[in-house]
Structure 1
Amino acid sequence: MGACCSSSPEAKYEVSGGAKAAKQPSSHGPKPKPAVPDFGLLNTHEVIKLLGRGGEGETWLCKDKETGHEVAIKLIKRPIPKPAIQVIKREIKIQADLGQGHLNIVSADEVILSKTYLGLIMEYVPGGNMVAFVTKRRETKSERGGLCLDEDEARYFFKQLISAVEYCHKNNVAHRDLKLDNTLLDTHEPFPWLKLCDFGFAKHWQANSNMDTMRIGTPEYMGPELISSRTGYDGKKVDVWAAGVLLYVMLVGMFPFETQDDNFNNTAGLYDIWLQQIKTSWRDVPNNTSAASRLTPELKELLDKMFDVKQESRASIDTIKQHPWFNRPLPEKFTESLKELEEEQRAIDEQVSKGAFQSAERDKALEALLDRAVTPAMPSEEVTRLSLSKIKRAYSILRPKGAGAGMAAVQEED
């Protein structure tokens, strides 16, 4: 579904809602921005601003009129083509199942269907993504020996990323698009917590089985087996390679393998990256030699294991967690933040162990709702909301007139 749920530097719309509220063009000065669309959610949400665009839709910052909470909503125009609905269904279910169970994964709270749009309602992460964070640090990298983040700070975030990826893998899900753009930062003080988002390319696998040959993801983060469309690649090892790229970029602000050809619609750029991967150690790529010299020997050894071109011998998540660099003590300021995170996570783990976030009834209700999204809305159709979080049993009710504008809802039952 594309696009993550954090702030965007652009605002291309006026925040005042509704077409009637739009100002008339003046004969002098620039044209006003178009009014923010309401997406058929006028009775449920105030639409505030665009957060991002993806291949299938847009993500908007909205305020829930009932709770007053800010949320991020991925919106896809209805009717949705039938070939696309299975991919959307997979993303929603994966994020609903995983996000409620891990603090380092963006949670999906509801699905909403209006006459014109299908929306996935997620937690809003206001701190921006790691791209912006690392870019800002590049301006002062001379203060850290030429590194965007020093190794301690990078390890603080990397530990959280690995925890999130490990949780995905334990639930037989490969993310397949790990990158700075898909890692968000919240506003936890004194140091932000990382949140993994955008499960549009994520996929379940059966125990002891591998992925198909589809080339998917972001080229600079792809492992060689993914670029070459290797038959039956290991989704877990693809994530390990991408996590290594992400760690490297956090530290030095550039990719270990990249190309001057940005047009990945043809294969020249991909082939260029693939040749570097299979013929040259990441340490020996011309752009990397200076950067690699700034890293500690332990970290370089870990990256060697994560960038092993043979997926069979590439580091696993367990290998990473046991590595000396990963376990090097952090300064107290980071340790305290991680300790707080781990304590909150343990409480969630107890709920997960009791099946608190699993519901066959919810899954059936989700199937029915998405089946409606492939058809045009009926004139009498109401906005429908399906709660994805902490559900034991789900059922549909039609509220009486005057109670929430007759909105149909799928409620939570304790």
Structure 2
Amino acid sequence: MEPISKRRKPLLIEPHSPDYVSIKKTPGLVANDLSGLSPPGEVSPKPLTSSFSSTKPSGLPSSFASIRQLSVSCFRTMTPTPQKFPDEAGRLTTVTSSGEIKILVIKLNEQPWRLGRNNQADLTIDKPTVSNWHCKVYAIECDTGERLVCLEDVSTNGIRHNGKLIRKKAVILNEGDHINIADQEFLYSHSAPPGRWQGQNASPKQGLPRFRPITLGKYCVTERVLGSGFFSIVHLAINTQTCAQLACKIVKRPLTTKRSYKEATKFQRVMQQEVELNASLEHPNINKIVALKQDSANIYLFLELVTGGDLFGYVTRNKHLQQDEAKFIFYQLALGLQYMHDVKKISHRDIKPENILLAHHGPEPRVLIADFGAARLADKAFCSMQGTMSYAAPEVLTVYTRQEGYDGKKADLWSLGVCLFMMLCGFHPFDKGELESRETERRKMCEVLHYHVEREEVQFVKSVLKSSCKDEALGYLSSDYAEVRDVLKRLLEEKPFQRISAQAVLAHPWIENSKTALEEKYQERVLGQTRRKKE
């Protein structure tokens, strides 16, 4: 459990207050669906489930037949304009046994709302089946600007989400979602402005029309966007048989004209290779493809849904991580890479914080290696530049300047070293904020390396290829970091044949001296979570 933040109070509407009286006068407005009640200019995600029972809970004002009606009236009466709460993402409305209406306003960049029996909870639910700390509710922002509100259960008895029991996992809340904690009833209203691809006229940069929900077998792909990449968009999906939420990565097929037939064939081969490699992996720290569907326009990859964002965002929000937390995350990544390299003989070739996902909100999360678009069997040397330049090893950056290729597994370890440095220090080891932009220098570098280098990448490449820059970067770490400095020195070794392996990293004193504590934490926070997901 993360440190307890200062207790907050929900918006409270007491009986006989002016707001309460105003709300009681508006029950007739509920003929409209909740999704039509967003403030002007906003688009709310539609409900993903059927209408809920209108059974009247105890304490509900007499004017209302259900908490849905009450929530609609509260939303119409109480919701401020977007300018008033610029970070607002959504609201949970409930009624206490004494008839008070309580509204939790969930905002970005705030500590989670904590619900439970504990009197220090933001909302105390004093019921015998409610855990001391039962669940938390928080908002995250995708790279598309879409705001997501997540409900994470941390209890013994679980939560009913749209009638389905969830336990020890997180779900993304959608407009009209119905939540039960014991017999306390909540209704969710989405109040965030739309993301870049969620508005009425939104369309992806790839030129795709606005997405409409689609059913593929037992999976329903919704319009809610969770993220985007250069070649793909990630949507929220639902398994209609189990109601479980997933992430769906949608990759647009290239046009199959005669001119592009060769390109389309290559695309199909690359996608098939990604799916086959990823599907062969079975590890708690790897984001595995659950299913593959396709039609004439797109390929749909269904993956485990994670709600904590990515490592880059996590480090950015926290400025940097404490050594113990960085060690636990690093330990998980090293285990995942050891499995890929030694058991499956696969190189990822694009390890970076943006491709490391957090399973949940809060400190010391379970992490998963994601995006296997560049991954290949590492049974021979690679002879092409792959991955992201600022995380690429020296031998990858200079691959076109020599005859021999490079070992993809060793290149992964260099990238892991860059990630570790960023966790500890909060900045890139080879970016001192002096990104040179002189065109002559950039052109000279392009000629030497035999590929195009963008202006903003010049300093990265220069620093990586200059060994003294590594020593300068390691100098930022104090003497208290002696062991981890040695790990970084071995990971950021310019000569790949001298670079430490994933197996050797796990045997290093920095890890070995904390092995018992790391294994206990791994059992609880990683293996325990994956077992519960399978249940």
TM-score range, shorter chain: 0.5 to 0.7
- What per-residue deviation string (whole Å, max 9, x for no partner) do you get for residues 166-205 of structure 1? 1111211000111110111112887421111000111112
Q: 1:39 to 1:260 in 2, by over 3 A?
A: farther
- Contact map agreement 2:290 2:304 (CA 8 A) in 1: yes
- Contact map agreement 1:283 1:292 (CA 8 A) in 2: no
Cα deviation, residue 12, structure 1: 6.0
Q: Which residue of 2 aligns with 1:401?
A: none
Amino acid at match of 1:124: L
1:107 aligns with 2:278: no
Which of the numbers 209, 212, 215 marks the counterpart of 1:38?
212
- Contact map agreement 2:251 2:298 (CA 8 A) in 1: yes
Cα deviation, residue 87, structure 1: 1.2
Cα deviation, residue 33, structure 1: 5.3
Which of the numbers 522, 528, 533 marks the counterpart of 1:338?
522
1:94 aligns with 2:277: yes
Cα deviation, residue 215, structure 1: 0.8
Q: 1:305 to 1:11 in 2, by over 3 A?
A: closer
Which of the numbers 341, 356, 367 marks the counterpart of 1:169?
341
Q: Which residue of 1 aligns with 2:142?
A: 8
Cα deviation, residue 345, structure 1: 10
Q: 1:133 to 1:210 in 2, by over 3 A?
A: same
Which of the numbers 498, 503, 506 marks the counterpart of 1:318?
503
Give distance in 1, aligned partners of 2:291 and 2:430.
39
Cα deviation, residue 276, structure 1: 2.4
Q: 1:104 to 1:116 in 2, by over 3 A?
A: same
3-state secondary structure, aligned to 2:521: helix
Amino acid at match of 1:323: H
Kindly indicate whether structure 1 or structure 2 has the higher relative contact order, using CA contacts under 8 Å at least 6 residues apart.
Answer: 1
Cα deviation, residue 67, structure 1: 2.3
Instruction: List aligned pairs for 1:61-76, cutoff 5 A.
Output: 61-76=236-251
Q: 1:53 to 1:342 in 2, by over 3 A?
A: closer
1:203 aligns with 2:384: no
Q: Which residue of 1 aligns with 2:14?
A: none
- Contact map agreement 1:103 1:345 (CA 8 A) in 2: no
Which of the numbers 288, 291, 299 marks the counterpart of 2:484?
299
- Contact map agreement 1:48 1:63 (CA 8 A) in 2: no
- Contact map agreement 2:436 2:458 (CA 8 A) in 1: no
Single out whichever of 56-65 and 303-312 deviates more from structure 2: 56-65
Give distance in 2, aligned partners of 1:165 and 1:202.
12
3-state secondary structure, aligned to 1:37: coil
Cα deviation, residue 115, structure 1: 4.4
Cα deviation, residue 75, structure 1: 0.9
Give distance in 2, aligned partners of 1:53 and 1:97.
24
- Contact map agreement 2:214 2:221 (CA 8 A) in 1: no
**Structure 2 runs not aligned, ≥5 long:** 1-139, 148-173, 176-198, 204-209, 256-263, 443-450
Q: Which residue of 2 aligns with 1:60?
A: 235
- Which of the pair has more CA radius of gyration? 2
Q: 1:112 to 1:253 in 2, by over 3 A?
A: same
Give distance in 1, aligned partners of 2:353 and 2:362.
21
Give distance in 1, aligned partners of 2:424 and 2:490.
17
Q: Which residue of 1 aligns with 2:396?
A: 226
1:158 aligns with 2:337: no
Q: 1:219 to 1:294 in 2, by over 3 A?
A: farther
- Contact map agreement 1:154 1:250 (CA 8 A) in 2: yes
Amino acid at match of 1:241: W
Which of the numbers 262, 266, 274 marks the counterpart of 2:453?
266
3-state secondary structure, aligned to 2:301: strand
Give distance in 2, aligned partners of 1:128 and 1:95.
20
- What per-residue deviation string (whole Å, max 9, x for no partner) do you get for residues 320-361 of structure 1? 1121112232795x65321336766999xxxxxxxxxxxxxx
Amino acid at match of 2:496: Q
Single out whichever of 221-230 and 184-193 deviates more from structure 2: 184-193
Cα deviation, residue 269, structure 1: 5.3
Q: Percent identity?
A: 27
1:217 aligns with 2:401: no
Q: 1:342 to 1:66 in 2, by over 3 A?
A: closer
Cα deviation, residue 150, structure 1: 1.4
Amino acid at match of 1:186: A
1:123 aligns with 2:304: yes
Amino acid at match of 1:210: A
- Contact map agreement 2:347 2:376 (CA 8 A) in 1: yes
Amino acid at match of 1:276: S
TM-score of the pair, normalised by structure 2: 0.53
- Contact map agreement 1:39 1:117 (CA 8 A) in 2: no
Cα deviation, residue 79, structure 1: 5.5
Give distance in 2, aligned partners of 1:134 and 1:294.
22
Q: Which residue of 1 aligns with 2:408?
A: 235
Cα deviation, residue 92, structure 1: 0.9
Give distance in 1, aligned partners of 2:506 and 2:498.
16
Give distance in 1, aligned partners of 2:294 and 2:530.
34
Cα deviation, residue 7, structure 1: 6.4
- RMSD between aligned alpha carbons? 3.3
